[in-house]
Amino acid sequence: HRFSRFWQTAAIVSKDVFDQYGVEGTQDVYVGVGAFMAEDANYLDSWKQNEGIRLVANPDYYATKDDNGPFVEKINWLEVPEGASRRAMLEAEEAQIAQIATKDFPELQSKGFELQKKGLFNTIRDISWVGNYWESHSGLTGEALERERDISKPWIGNPFENGDTYDENTPSMQNSMKVRNAFSWAIEREELVENLLGGLGFVNHQAYLSSN
Protein backbone atom coordinates (compact mmCIF):
# COMPACT_ATOMS: atom_id res chain seq x y z
CA HIS A 1 0.00 0.00 0.00
CA ARG A 2 1.41 3.36 -0.98
CA PHE A 3 0.23 5.24 2.11
CA SER A 4 -0.03 2.75 4.97
CA ARG A 5 3.11 1.38 6.57
CA PHE A 6 0.96 -1.29 8.22
CA TRP A 7 -0.17 -2.78 4.92
CA GLN A 8 3.33 -2.49 3.52
CA THR A 9 4.68 -4.79 6.22
CA ALA A 10 1.74 -6.94 7.37
CA ALA A 11 1.73 -9.40 4.47
CA ILE A 12 4.21 -12.06 3.43
CA VAL A 13 5.86 -11.07 0.14
CA SER A 14 8.08 -12.86 -2.32
CA LYS A 15 11.75 -12.60 -1.36
CA ASP A 16 12.77 -13.09 -4.99
CA VAL A 17 10.62 -10.15 -6.08
CA PHE A 18 11.90 -7.98 -3.22
CA ASP A 19 15.53 -8.81 -3.98
CA GLN A 20 15.00 -8.00 -7.66
CA TYR A 21 12.88 -4.85 -7.44
CA GLY A 22 13.61 -3.39 -4.00
CA VAL A 23 11.24 -1.53 -1.66
CA GLU A 24 9.60 0.75 -4.23
CA GLY A 25 9.49 -1.67 -7.14
CA THR A 26 7.90 -4.47 -5.12
CA GLN A 27 4.78 -2.33 -4.71
CA ASP A 28 4.09 -2.71 -8.43
CA VAL A 29 4.79 -6.45 -8.75
CA TYR A 30 1.97 -8.50 -7.26
CA VAL A 31 2.52 -12.12 -6.33
CA GLY A 32 -0.37 -13.93 -4.66
CA VAL A 33 -1.84 -17.34 -3.94
CA GLY A 34 -5.52 -16.36 -3.70
CA ALA A 35 -8.58 -17.92 -5.29
CA PHE A 36 -8.57 -15.38 -8.14
CA MET A 37 -6.01 -13.74 -10.38
CA ALA A 38 -5.94 -11.00 -12.99
CA GLU A 39 -7.63 -11.99 -16.24
CA ASP A 40 -4.67 -10.85 -18.35
CA ALA A 41 -1.10 -12.07 -17.97
CA ASN A 42 -0.11 -8.45 -17.47
CA TYR A 43 -2.35 -7.43 -14.56
CA LEU A 44 -2.22 -3.79 -15.67
CA ASP A 45 -4.34 -4.80 -18.67
CA SER A 46 -7.02 -6.09 -16.28
CA TRP A 47 -6.92 -3.28 -13.73
CA LYS A 48 -7.88 0.34 -14.37
CA GLN A 49 -7.49 2.86 -11.59
CA ASN A 50 -10.82 4.31 -10.42
CA GLU A 51 -12.67 1.77 -12.58
CA GLY A 52 -12.07 -1.78 -11.40
CA ILE A 53 -10.40 -5.08 -12.17
CA ARG A 54 -11.30 -8.27 -14.05
CA LEU A 55 -10.46 -11.51 -12.26
CA VAL A 56 -10.58 -15.20 -13.19
CA ALA A 57 -10.44 -18.32 -11.05
CA ASN A 58 -6.95 -19.46 -10.12
CA PRO A 59 -6.59 -23.05 -11.39
CA ASP A 60 -3.73 -23.65 -8.95
CA TYR A 61 -5.50 -22.33 -5.85
CA TYR A 62 -4.20 -24.35 -2.93
CA ALA A 63 -7.52 -24.58 -1.03
CA THR A 64 -9.57 -26.01 -3.89
CA LYS A 65 -8.85 -29.51 -2.66
CA ASP A 66 -10.65 -28.65 0.60
CA ASP A 67 -13.71 -27.34 -1.28
CA ASN A 68 -12.86 -23.74 -0.40
CA GLY A 69 -13.36 -22.24 -3.82
CA PRO A 70 -13.15 -20.56 -6.15
CA PHE A 71 -16.87 -21.05 -6.81
CA VAL A 72 -17.23 -18.82 -9.88
CA GLU A 73 -15.15 -18.58 -13.03
CA LYS A 74 -14.92 -14.79 -13.34
CA ILE A 75 -15.35 -11.64 -11.27
CA ASN A 76 -15.76 -8.14 -12.65
CA TRP A 77 -14.93 -5.97 -9.63
CA LEU A 78 -16.09 -2.39 -10.17
CA GLU A 79 -15.08 0.67 -8.21
CA VAL A 80 -18.26 2.64 -7.52
CA PRO A 81 -17.59 5.50 -5.06
CA GLU A 82 -21.20 6.49 -4.33
CA GLY A 83 -23.02 4.31 -1.83
CA ALA A 84 -26.42 5.10 -3.37
CA SER A 85 -25.13 3.93 -6.76
CA ARG A 86 -23.85 0.66 -5.27
CA ARG A 87 -27.25 0.03 -3.71
CA ALA A 88 -29.06 0.83 -6.96
CA MET A 89 -26.85 -1.59 -8.89
CA LEU A 90 -27.58 -4.30 -6.34
CA GLU A 91 -31.33 -3.75 -6.54
CA ALA A 92 -31.26 -3.65 -10.35
CA GLU A 93 -29.28 -6.91 -10.42
CA GLU A 94 -26.38 -5.15 -12.10
CA ALA A 95 -24.23 -6.37 -9.21
CA GLN A 96 -24.40 -9.56 -7.17
CA ILE A 97 -22.42 -8.25 -4.19
CA ALA A 98 -22.04 -4.67 -2.98
CA GLN A 99 -20.78 -2.76 0.03
CA ILE A 100 -23.70 -0.63 1.17
CA ALA A 101 -24.36 1.86 3.94
CA THR A 102 -25.27 0.38 7.31
CA LYS A 103 -28.50 2.37 7.40
CA ASP A 104 -29.69 0.50 4.27
CA PHE A 105 -29.39 -2.96 5.83
CA PRO A 106 -32.92 -3.33 7.25
CA GLU A 107 -34.75 -2.25 4.08
CA LEU A 108 -32.64 -4.41 1.79
CA GLN A 109 -33.03 -7.39 4.10
CA SER A 110 -36.81 -6.89 3.96
CA LYS A 111 -36.51 -7.20 0.17
CA GLY A 112 -34.77 -10.54 0.43
CA PHE A 113 -31.12 -9.52 0.32
CA GLU A 114 -28.77 -11.26 2.73
CA LEU A 115 -25.86 -9.85 4.73
CA GLN A 116 -22.46 -11.43 4.41
CA LYS A 117 -21.78 -12.08 8.09
CA LYS A 118 -18.41 -13.81 8.13
CA GLY A 119 -16.18 -11.69 10.30
CA LEU A 120 -13.21 -11.70 7.94
CA PHE A 121 -15.10 -9.49 5.48
CA ASN A 122 -17.20 -7.25 7.70
CA THR A 123 -16.53 -3.55 8.11
CA ILE A 124 -14.76 -2.46 11.27
CA ARG A 125 -15.03 1.13 12.47
CA ASP A 126 -12.31 1.58 15.02
CA ILE A 127 -10.42 4.12 17.10
CA SER A 128 -6.89 2.92 17.74
CA TRP A 129 -4.20 4.08 20.13
CA VAL A 130 -0.98 3.13 18.39
CA GLY A 131 2.70 3.35 19.25
CA ASN A 132 3.83 5.04 16.09
CA TYR A 133 6.62 6.92 17.88
CA TRP A 134 8.17 3.82 19.38
CA GLU A 135 10.16 2.46 16.44
CA SER A 136 13.83 3.34 16.27
CA HIS A 137 14.41 1.96 12.74
CA SER A 138 12.26 1.71 9.62
CA GLY A 139 10.73 -1.72 9.14
CA LEU A 140 11.07 -1.25 5.38
CA THR A 141 14.60 0.04 4.93
CA GLY A 142 16.29 -0.55 8.29
CA GLU A 143 17.33 3.11 8.40
CA ALA A 144 17.40 4.91 11.75
CA LEU A 145 14.30 7.07 12.30
CA GLU A 146 14.48 10.65 13.48
CA ARG A 147 11.69 10.92 16.04
CA GLU A 148 10.71 14.02 17.98
CA ARG A 149 8.94 12.49 20.96
CA ASP A 150 7.39 15.46 22.75
CA ILE A 151 6.73 13.92 26.16
CA SER A 152 5.33 17.24 27.40
CA LYS A 153 2.15 15.96 25.76
CA PRO A 154 0.68 13.45 28.22
CA TRP A 155 -0.38 10.94 25.55
CA ILE A 156 3.13 10.57 24.08
CA GLY A 157 5.67 8.20 25.58
CA ASN A 158 9.37 7.83 24.86
CA PRO A 159 10.74 4.30 25.34
CA PHE A 160 14.26 5.64 24.85
CA GLU A 161 13.94 8.24 27.59
CA ASN A 162 16.75 6.66 29.59
CA GLY A 163 19.14 6.05 26.71
CA ASP A 164 19.41 3.97 23.54
CA THR A 165 17.78 0.84 24.93
CA TYR A 166 14.04 0.34 24.42
CA ASP A 167 12.26 0.45 27.78
CA GLU A 168 8.48 0.44 28.01
CA ASN A 169 8.64 1.25 31.72
CA THR A 170 10.04 4.77 31.44
CA PRO A 171 7.96 7.40 33.28
CA SER A 172 6.60 8.92 30.07
CA MET A 173 5.64 5.49 28.70
CA GLN A 174 3.75 4.59 31.86
CA ASN A 175 2.03 7.98 32.04
CA SER A 176 1.01 7.95 28.39
CA MET A 177 -0.40 4.44 28.78
CA LYS A 178 -2.62 5.67 31.61
CA VAL A 179 -3.87 8.53 29.42
CA ARG A 180 -4.71 6.19 26.55
CA ASN A 181 -6.45 3.80 28.93
CA ALA A 182 -8.48 6.68 30.35
CA PHE A 183 -9.61 7.71 26.88
CA SER A 184 -10.49 4.11 26.09
CA TRP A 185 -12.58 3.71 29.24
CA ALA A 186 -14.37 7.00 28.50
CA ILE A 187 -15.73 5.81 25.15
CA GLU A 188 -19.36 4.69 25.39
CA ARG A 189 -19.15 1.93 22.82
CA GLU A 190 -22.69 0.65 23.15
CA GLU A 191 -24.04 4.17 22.61
CA LEU A 192 -21.93 4.57 19.46
CA VAL A 193 -23.34 1.32 18.05
CA GLU A 194 -26.88 2.42 18.87
CA ASN A 195 -26.68 6.04 17.71
CA LEU A 196 -24.24 5.88 14.78
CA LEU A 197 -25.03 2.43 13.44
CA GLY A 198 -28.70 2.23 14.39
CA GLY A 199 -27.98 -0.78 16.56
CA LEU A 200 -26.77 -2.72 13.53
CA GLY A 201 -23.46 -3.88 14.89
CA PHE A 202 -21.69 -4.94 18.05
CA VAL A 203 -18.83 -3.79 20.23
CA ASN A 204 -15.45 -5.22 19.31
CA HIS A 205 -12.38 -4.70 21.49
CA GLN A 206 -9.69 -5.54 18.95
CA ALA A 207 -8.64 -4.53 15.45
CA TYR A 208 -9.88 -7.75 13.84
CA LEU A 209 -13.13 -9.69 14.11
CA SER A 210 -13.27 -13.29 15.24
CA SER A 211 -14.05 -15.74 12.44
CA ASN A 212 -17.07 -16.97 14.42
Query: Domains of the chain, with CATH numbers?
Result: 5-120 (3.40.190.10)
| Mean pLDDT, the chain, whole residue set | 84
pLDDT at residue 113, rounded to an integer: 93
pLDDT at residue 198, rounded to an integer: 82
- Distance (Å, rounded) from C-alpha 50 to C-alpha 166? 43
With a cut of 70, list the residues of the chain below it in pLDDT: 1-10, 117-133, 207-212
pLDDT at residue 165, rounded to an integer: 87
- Region of 175 (left: φ > 0; alpha: ψ -120 to 50; beta: rest) is alpha
pLDDT at residue 96, rounded to an integer: 94
pLDDT at residue 119, rounded to an integer: 45
pLDDT at residue 123, rounded to an integer: 66
pLDDT at residue 7, rounded to an integer: 65
pLDDT at residue 205, rounded to an integer: 79
Entry pTM: 0.61
pLDDT at residue 120, rounded to an integer: 45
